[in-house]
Structure 1
Amino acid sequence: MAEVKLFGFWGSPYSRRVEMALKLKGVEYEYVEEDLNNKSPQLLQYNPVHKKVPVLLHNGKPIVESLVILEYIDETWGDGPSILPKDPHLRAVARFWAKFLDEKCLPACSKAYLSAGEEQLKAKEEAEELLKVLDNEVKGKKLFGGDSIGLVDIAANFVAYWPVIIAETLGVELITKDKFPNLCAWMDEYVNSNFFKEHLPDRDKLAAHIRTWFQKTSQVKR
């Protein structure tokens, strides 16, 4: 068995976060692609609570939840760039923004994409209010981590890449340069970075996946 194994799904921003962190640290690992419609017994064994990807297996011991995994990688492999700042206050700030992304921004954006009519208009307004906060936070910065890749940049991969493809695929546009100039500048920096580009899903494949996922989700909601 490989010392480090990652159970993930190619189209999941959460799985991609972990791949970014492992590559940033130079950690060799075995990748196991999961079929989310037919999850493997190993995935269910290693993550019996949430039954989701990603799961990092290190020396036979599972670690789950992407933000928890990112911190584990940073603490376990000291070589390579730090994912979290060394300063305790800055570490706390980075954790705050990572949680803000997962607990506030991503659910609000998902609701805006999946709703319709008046409900969608309200959901878009709520999502845009949160995105304004992010836009202000990255103002004057190359990356959320300053000049180097950090926890928040890795956690924000969904914001950097997925909304553009969702807008093209579903016709629902949330992030525009006129409303979010700083966030869009960060997105441009992100998708044009050699490191980040290597860890983003194929554009056409992701668009097809989003289209299928949206159709299935819409049918369930009906």
Structure 2
Amino acid sequence: MKIKRRKSNKKILKIIESKLCFFQFHLFMLRLSSSALRSLQRACSTVDFSKLLSVNCLFALRIVWAPKIKGIEYETIFEDLSNKSPSLLHYNPVHKKVPILIHNGKLIVESLVILEYIDETWKETSLLSEDLYERAMARFWAKFGDDKVVTSIFQGFFLKEGKEKKKAMVEAMKHLQFLEDKLKGKRLFGGERIGFVDLALGWLANFISIFEEVVGLKIVDEDKFPLLSEWMKEFSDSPIIKDNWPPQDKMIAKFHALYDATIAAAAASK
């Protein structure tokens, strides 16, 4: 459903993109000049809705999908996180990172917070249920994904070695089983259409296959996690999701570099 807009109050998303992040988009690649930065700052003080983020990383992709689902227009501007611009440091001096949402001159950070804010501000095609309990559970599972699933997968398949690696892998499988159980009787975490939890966990649908290729291990086995496997396919096949993945070959190359560097560092420390 298209959002009704007055011509004088068109809502535009300004997206600051990371040039140096493990998952790299190649859309409108540019470095902001001083004049461009001043223009961006002026725009953010007058435009009703602006957003600064990296669409490369696991957590930021959800902020790309949400406005697409709701029909919100945006443009993409790239931020070099290895040389953080005055704009980024000005808008998020605490964390000094993206994503950042600027709405009517007010700043909002952290991707899940931004995701919920977008849903509350633009009611069309709601991502969260009106039921208070369901909303609370959606927040729980979204946070579970960030705090438990991401951490255990990265530690188990990238960062740990020996007994610590096995322990982390066991934790990762346990956390994935919780998600498998959550999908019983449903096509998507949101029911019949993509919702808040689907977007929060959406990185699984693409990045898991990247991880599996890099480390040479199967993470989400179809026999062990049939519902989760089917959800990953269902989510990925959605046109809005499919059209907004970062290039897979470039992500594989980035993760191979990360994995090789991790292995080399571990070997050097012995």
Gaps of 5+ in 2: 1-42
Tell me if the contact between 1:14 and 1:53 (Cα under 8 Å) persists in the aligned partners: no
Q: Deviations over 1:25-76 (max 9, x none)?
A: 1122232222222222222222222222211222332211000001110111
Q: 1:36-51 alignment to 2 at 5 Å? A: 36-51=81-96
Q: Deviations over 1:180-205 (max 9, x none)?
A: 11100101111112121122211111
Tell me if the contact between 1:5 and 1:57 (Cα under 8 Å) persists in the aligned partners: yes
CA RMSD of aligned residues (A): 1.8
Tell me if the contact between 1:17 and 1:66 (Cα under 8 Å) persists in the aligned partners: yes
Which of 128, 132, 137 is 1:84 aligned to?
Answer: 128
AA of the residue aligned to 1:206:
M
Call closer, same or farther: CA 1:212–1:61 in 2, change over 3 Å: farther
Mapped pair 1:103 → 2:151: no
Runs of 4+ in 1 over 6 A off after TM superposition: none
Q: Deviations over 1:142-163 (max 9, x none)?
A: 1000001110000001221111
* Distance in 1 between residues matched to 2:94 and 2:261, nearest whole Å: 24
More deviation, 144-153/195-204: 195-204
* Bigger Rg over Cα: 2
Q: Deviations over 1:88-134 (max 9, x none)?
A: 11111111111111111111111112222332111111110111010
Percent identity over the alignment is 45
* Distance in 2 between residues matched to 1:18 and 1:93, nearest whole Å: 20
Instruction: Name the TM-score, length of structure 2 as normaliser.
Output: 0.76
Call closer, same or farther: CA 1:141–1:89 in 2, change over 3 Å: same
* Distance in 2 between residues matched to 1:18 and 1:38, nearest whole Å: 23
Instruction: Name the TM-score, length of structure 1 as normaliser.
Output: 0.92
AA of the residue aligned to 1:81:
T
Query: What is the Cα deviation at residue 219 of structure 1?
Result: 5.1
Matching residue of 2:137: 93
Q: 1:131-210 alignment to 2 at 5 Å? A: 131-210=176-255
* Distance in 2 between residues matched to 1:7 and 1:103, nearest whole Å: 23
* Distance in 2 between residues matched to 1:102 and 1:55, nearest whole Å: 18
**The residue matched to 1:29 in structure 2 has which SS?**
strand
More deviation, 139-148/107-116: 107-116
Call closer, same or farther: CA 1:18–1:183 in 2, change over 3 Å: same
* Distance in 2 between residues matched to 1:204 and 1:58, nearest whole Å: 35
AA of the residue aligned to 1:86:
E
Query: What is the Cα deviation at residue 12 of structure 1?
Result: 0.5
Query: What is the Cα deviation at residue 218 of structure 1?
Result: 4.7
Aligned length: 221
Gaps of 5+ in 1: none
Tell me if the contact between 2:99 and 2:109 (Cα under 8 Å) persists in the aligned partners: yes
Matching residue of 2:67: 22
* Distance in 2 between residues matched to 1:69 and 1:85, nearest whole Å: 17
Call closer, same or farther: CA 1:168–1:29 in 2, change over 3 Å: same
More deviation, 146-155/208-217: 208-217
AA of the residue aligned to 1:125:
V
* Distance in 1 between residues matched to 2:179 and 2:75, nearest whole Å: 34
